[in-house]
Structure 1
Amino acid sequence: MTSQTITAAASGTWKLGDLEINRMGFGAMRLTQHGEALRADAASSDRGRAIRVLRRAVELGVNHIDTAAFYFSPLRSANELINRALAPYPDDLVITTKVGPGRDPSGAWLPHATPEQLRGQVEENLRQLGRDHLDVVNLRIAGTDSLAERFGALAELREAGLIRHLGLSNVTPAHLAEAQEIAPVVCVQNPYGIGARPEDDAFLRSCGAQGVAFVPFYAIAGAGREAGASGEDHDEVRAVARAHEASAAQVRLAWTLHRGPHVLAIPGTGNPDHLLANVAAGALRLSHGGLAALDRLHRGGTSA
């Protein structure tokens, strides 16, 4: 499919609280380094190229950028790249960040933040991004423990004006219900794509019924996760891609957006050509036959 003139507006819009965004966004995780994301020993990316990708994304109508202070390589910080590329920020740009995990200066992972430590993580994001408040902060969870104390700490920062809206990442339906008792939740960011589990489908639908955005990560990479897509794909995905003159990655993104009007996409890349293709996927309307084939593959429970 032709991608040069397609903008993120083709994907439609959704509101995170009172913030209207295009459903096709941009994930900053892969901006800082080459190879597998978030590896301490990975080579840092080219700074100028990363800045050009960010600026081009905004030119293409992307107004939702997902980031985190722990997205960094030995020489690059995603938040500081965003600041350098885009400040002063466009009025309609929504920057979503995550707190909970942390990494030391060497890149090694630290235990998830305590409620008391979360304020420091929020302030670090504010400093790096050059903002006086954060548009959306997702509390990322590891495991199934209660999030009440940690989410409550973020709710206090929201009341203080440091955070506008709150979301969750890597959570269960029970976590969402627990959080909603404390403060409004505008989005859930979970792994999801073709081959996801039936319970993930149910959670996606439940979020839609509650007016909560569902934001898949690894929608293209699938089981490759931080390593990215393998370059191989299922026959069904390749066949649909050929029929639509699109790439397999574009088909996976389009299928994800077809799952509901509340589903957002945040594909990440440091490659300008991949950026154009990802944004163009927001305009891809899959045929009934193509959707049926992908849905059958999805129900088969495998993900390349």
Structure 2
Amino acid sequence: MTSEKITAAAAGTWKLGDLPVNRIGYGAMRLTGSAAFHLGVPSNRERSIAVLRRAIELGVNHIDTAAFYFSSLRSANELINSALAPYADDLVIATKVGPHRDYSGEWATAARPDQLRGQVEENLRQLGRDHLDVVYLRRMRQDSIAEHFGALAELRDVGLIRHLAVSDVESEHLAEAQAIAPVVSVQNQYGLDYPNPETDAVLRTCGEQGIAFVPFFAIAGKGGAHGASGTDDDEVLAVAGAHGATPAQIRLAWTLRQGPHVLAIPGTGNPDHLDENVAAGALRLTDEETARLDARHTSGG
């Protein structure tokens, strides 16, 4: 599938609260290293900045990041700031709080509710913003997120955050958050190779309520932060061949086919992969192809 002249607008749009975004966005995690923010070798700074600027040229207006996306030499937020500030009026930057890494890069315990303001302020400082467009509370296996989400709701009330969202949640956590303040988006691991009945249920609930659903690792699947395995079964390869597309593009197209409220945030530090990811937004699977891939997802591949 050619990526020439295809922009992120080809995927259509959705709103994060009152903020319209193209359904193909960009995930910043892989900006900081060859495999992920805590794996591999540090990225090349100039190349990472070029990828970010190319994303904007291609119509990407939704970037997902976090202050804990850093490697030994690179910070995703600092790269975004350096590459894109002053920011375009239509650019929506979403970030996450909850997980915590110390300065050596090691994971520490999850942030307490009273520590979330510090995490929000760190994102503001690194990005050079006076408010954050969207902040996800990343659940860290807590049974209840009410106290943490309530702390973020207070920061929303004082203007540090525009919209609230939740990540790595089940249906009960979404309902718990909504009882405190509006939720504009849910971000869970989800993909063709990652069947999870609970996440499927959350995706459907979001569609019914007009909430954005933003899967992470949509291409990597079970590989998660380590990246895709590089192997694809005959079903995916057959659909890719029919469209002259790559298997990764088929995975993104299938993800977007799950509902108009589903957004994609594929991440890459490779300019060629960026063009391919954005071009996937123009790919339209047939009903028959979608049904075949749906069955594969349900069965676990």
TM score, norm. by length of structure 2: 0.98
In the alignment, the residues of structure 2 paired with residue 277 and residue 180 of structure 1 have an alpha-carbon distance, to the nearest angstrom, of 36
For residues 149 and 39 of structure 1, what CA distance do their matches in structure 2 show?
A: 28
Shift of residue 197 of structure 1?
A: 2.0
Report if aligned partners of 1:221, 1:230 keep a CA contact under 8 Å in 2.
yes
CA distance in 1, matches of 2:122, 2:198: 35
Residue aligning to 2:82: 84
Q: Please, what is the CA RMSD of the aligned residues?
A: 0.9
Look up the SS of the partner of 2:37 in the other structure.
Answer: coil
Q: Which amino acid aligns with 2:110?
A: H
Give yes or no for contact 2:38–2:70 (8 Å, CA) kept in 1: no
- Name the CA distance, whole Å, in 2 between partners of 1:220 and 1:206: 23
- Please show how residues 47-126 of structure 1 align to structure 2 within 5 Å: 47-126=45-124
Asked if 1:237 is matched to 2:236, the reply is yes
Question: In the alignment, is the contact (CA less than 8 A) between 1:167 and 1:187 conserved in 2?
Answer: yes
CA deviation vs aligned residue, 1:249-301 (integer Å, no higher than 9, x gap): 00000000000000000000000000000000000001222212211211212
Query: Which range moves more in the overlay, 271-280 or 228-237?
Result: 228-237
Residue 50 of structure 1: how far off its partner (Å): 0.2
Number of the residue aligned with 1:10: 10
How many matched pairs? 300
1:217 equivalenced with 2:216 (yes/no): yes
| 1:253 equivalenced with 2:252 (yes/no) | yes
CA distance in 2, matches of 1:220, 1:188: 18
Say if 1:57 and 1:275, in contact at 8 Å, map to a contact too.
yes
| Paired residues of 1:191 and 1:216 also in contact (CA < 8 A) | yes
| TM-aligned CA deviation for residue 192 of structure 1 | 0.5
The code of the aligned residue for 1:23 comes to R
State the identity as a percent. Answer: 71
Q: 2:154 aligns with which of 146, 156, 164?
A: 156
Q: Which AA in structure 2 matches 1:285?
A: R
- 1:282 and 1:172 mapped to 2: Cα distance? 27
In structure 1, distance between residues paired with 2:202 and 2:182: 17
Unaligned runs of 5+ in 2: none
CA offsets, 1:87-116, max 9 Å, x none? 000000000000000111111001111011
2: CA distance, partners of 1:94 / 1:215: 14
Separation in 2, partners of 1:158, 1:262: 23
How many Å separate the matches in 2 of 1:104 and 1:235? Answer: 43
Please list the CA deviations of residues 54-95 of structure 1 after superposition, one character each: whole Å capped at 9, or x if unmatched: 000001000000000000011100000000000000000000
The separation in 2 between residues aligned to 1:252 and 1:275, in whole angstroms, is 14
CA offsets 1:114-149 (integer angstroms, 9 cap, x no match): 011000000000000000000000000121421111
Partner of 1:198: 197
Instruction: Specify the alignment match of 1:28 in structure 2.
Output: 28
Q: Distance in 1 between matches of 2:186 and 2:196?
A: 16
Report the Cα distance in structure 2 between the residues aligned to 1:187 and 1:297, rounded to whole angstroms.
Answer: 26
Which residue in 2 is equivalent to 1:286?
285
Partner of 1:208: 207
Distance apart, 1:26 and its partner CA: 0.1
**SS state of the match for residue 110, structure 1?**
coil
Alpha-carbon distance in structure 2 between the residues aligned to 1:117 and 1:197: 31
Residue segments in structure 1 that go unaligned for 5+ positions in a row: none
Letter in 1 for 2:29: M
Distance 1:299 1:145 in 2: 27
Q: Quote the Cα distance in structure 2 between the aligned partners of 1:208 and 1:288.
A: 19
- Please say if residues 144 and 172 of structure 1, whose CA atoms lie closer than 8 Å, have aligned partners that are also in contact: no
Deviates more, 1:141-150 or 1:8-17: 141-150
Counterparts of 1:63 and 1:251 in 2: how far apart (Å)? 22
